[in-house]
């Protein structure tokens, strides 16, 4: 199998043809020429688009690599206009009234809102924390297990293989939110998951200019149900967004490797500060998530997020305002570093001084210097 850097630059590209671009531009089409009988892959724009097809093939090749990239991928991917659309497609295409679903209690901030919607439809929802594989204790009678590892924003990690085996033993399907790791950091389908689902808005596309989501699965029936859900709800990505996402994939390995290396350097630097507590990054050797992360994640790519706690809200705000190379913004995974005081949103169970820091692709030394300078400022200007 070729290396990740080689795979990302070619993923999903058509066979080279004389006088054609390597990555054909976005196909803007609400409908396609369709003479006579209804046939072929492209009929109406809500059902299919060649720009989606190319991106979906690329993501399939990354989520579940098989030998020669020229082969048809074994996995199928269905893209969506956002991560939430992708997550909703899996949950609502699988769950029926009377079913039980197990969600992480510490996952993405909109999971509680999804829980309410599911309960409105007669689905019973249980939650358990990601750390310590605590969801194992909630699986009896479940139809579907939802895993988020590493979790956002707490950065806990669970053992996908262990949870998937236990869930399958009880007849439950398993979906993993792979947003933070990206398919270069973690391949849930190889670890037994039925679905790998992600927001492509974050590190996958990495430029902070596109919202996107996807669902990848090896099971053609599950793929067909998710595809039918997309068609029925009309939750389709725009061709421009799909094309931008595909173009961005070529630099995925460069970005995630730089981001992971800098995130680890930053986590180490934060560790040495007295006013900083609860530094979390799965790459830190003494992090509670490290052992499992090391087993199931690839190439030291433990993600671009570092979280930590400053003494209080005012201290955190002084720190954020003093950063020069880091934008105060939500989201993560982009080429430009961002940070925010997560508590400003409400919804996550985090302390007032909790910072979620997303490391970009700046030079490591510059970024660490900027953070240390801002910490010094925040410390010395306290009231």
Ligand X SMILES: *Cc1c(COP(=O)(O)O)cnc(C)c1O
Q: How far is the CB of 185 from ligand X (least distance, A)?
A: 13
3-state secondary structure of 335: coil
Q: In the bound complex, which residue of the shown chain has the CB atom lying closest to ligand X?
A: 83
Q: Which stretch binds ligand X (CB under 6 A): 8-16, 96-104, 197-205, 314-322?
A: 197-205
Instruction: From 67-75, 198-206, 217-225, 310-318, give the range in contact with ligand X by CB under 6 A.
Output: 198-206
Q: Contact between 214 and ligand X (CB under 6 A)?
A: no
Q: Binding residue for ligand X (CB under 6 A) from 53, 93, 182, 199? A: 199
Packing angle between helix 364-380 and helix 252-271, nearest 10 degrees? 40
Comparing CB distances to ligand X, the nearer of 211 and 323 is 211
C-alpha distance from residue 51 to each of 10, 210, 240 (Å)? 15, 15, 8
Binding segment (CB under 6 A) for ligand X, from list 90-98, 175-183, 221-229, 367-375: 175-183
Smaller CB distance to ligand X: residue 1 or 113?
Answer: 113
Helices marked H in the chain — which ranges?
A: 4-10, 50-63, 83-94, 111-120, 160-169, 182-185, 220-233, 239-249, 252-271, 290-296, 313-322, 364-380
Q: How many CA atoms lie within 13 A of 364 on its CB side?
A: 15
Residue showing tokens 């955190």: 316
Q: How far is the CB of 91 from ligand X (least distance, A)?
A: 12
Paired tokens of 114: 């999804």
Q: Is 179 in the site for ligand X (CB under 6 A)?
A: yes
Cα dihedral: 17, 18, 21, 27 (round 10) = -60
Q: By rule CB under 6 A, what count of residues binds ligand X?
A: 14
- Rg value, the chain, Cα: 21
Binding mask 136-165 for ligand X (x = CB under 6 A): ------------x---x-------------
Q: Residue 149: which of 60, 282, 268, 279 has the closest Cα? A: 282
Interface with ligand X (CB under 6 A), residue from 12, 104, 131, 213: 213
Q: Which is nearer to ligand X, 73 or 303 (CB)?
A: 303
Q: Choose between 49 and 358: whose C-beta lies nearer to ligand X.
A: 358
CB atoms inside a 10 Å sphere around CB 128: 20
Encoded one letter per residue, x for contact with ligand X by CB under 6 A and - for no contact, window 77-96 reads -----xxx------------
Angle 224-146-303 (CA atoms, 0-180°, nearest 5)? 105
198: closest CA among 118, 330, 80, 101?
Answer: 80
- Closest distance of CB 124 from ligand X, Å: 22
- Report the nearest approach of ligand X to the CB of residue 198 (Å): 7
Taking the complex as a whole, how short is the minimal distance between the CB of residue 114 and ligand X, in angstroms?
10
Contact flag: residue 362 with ligand X (CB under 6 A): no
CB of 46 to ligand X, least distance (A): 20
**213 DSSP β-pair partners:** 80, 199
- Picking from 70, 63, 56, the residue whose alpha carbon sits closest to that of residue 10 is 70
* Closer residue to ligand X in complex, CB, 85/276: 85
Q: How far is the CB of 4 from ligand X (least distance, A)?
A: 21
Residues that bind ligand X (CB under 6 A): 82-84, 108, 148, 152, 177, 179-180, 199, 201-202, 211, 213
């Amino acid at each position: 199998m070729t290396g990740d850097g080689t795979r990302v630059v070619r993923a999903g590209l058509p066979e080279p043809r004389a006088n054609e671009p390597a990555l054909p531009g976005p196909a803007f089409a609400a409908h396609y020429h369709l003479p006579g009988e209804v046939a072929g892959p492209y009929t109406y724009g809500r059902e299919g688009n060649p720009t989606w097809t190319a991106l979906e093939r690329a993501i399939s090749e990354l989520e579940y690599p098989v030998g020669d990239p020229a082969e048809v991928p074994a996995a199928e991917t269905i893209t969506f206009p956002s991560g939430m659309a992708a997550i909703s497609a899996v949950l609502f295409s699988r769950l029926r009234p009377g079913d039980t679903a197990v969600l992480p209690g510490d996952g993405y901030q909109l999971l509680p809102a999804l829980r309410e919607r599911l309960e409105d439809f007669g689905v019973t929802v249980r939650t358990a924390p990601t750390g310590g594989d605590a969801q194992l204790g909630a699986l009896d009678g479940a139809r579907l297990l939802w895993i988020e590892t590493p979790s956002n924003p707490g950065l806990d990690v669970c053992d996908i293989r262990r949870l998937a085996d236990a869930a399958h033993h009880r007849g439950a399907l398993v979906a993993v939110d792979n947003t933070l790791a990206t398919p270069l950091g973690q391949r849930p389908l190889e670890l037994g998951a039925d679905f790998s689902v992600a927001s492509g808005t974050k590190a996958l596309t990495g430029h902070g200019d596109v919202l996107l989501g996807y669902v990848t699965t090896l099971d053609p029936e599950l793929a067909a149900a998710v595809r039918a859900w997309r068609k029925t709800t009309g939750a389709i990505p725009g061709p421009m967004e799909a094309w931008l996402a595909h173009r961005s994939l070529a630099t995925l390995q460069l970005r995630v490797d730089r981001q992971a290396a800098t995130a680890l350097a930053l986590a180490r630097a934060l560790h040495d500060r007295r006013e900083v507590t609860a530094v979390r990054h799965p790459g830190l050797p003494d992090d509670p998530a490290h052992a499992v992360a090391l087993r199931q994640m690839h190439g030291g790519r433990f993600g671009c997020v570092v979280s930590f706690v400053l003494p209080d809200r005012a201290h955190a705000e002084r720190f954020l305002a003093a950063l020069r190379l880091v934008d105060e913004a939500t989201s993560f995974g982009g080429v430009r570093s961002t940070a925010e005081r997560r508590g400003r949103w409400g919804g996550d169970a985090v302390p007032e001084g909790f910072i979620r820091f997303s490391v970009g692709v700046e030079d490591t030394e510059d970024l660490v210097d900027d953070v240390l300078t801002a910490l010094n400022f925040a410390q010395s200007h306290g009231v």
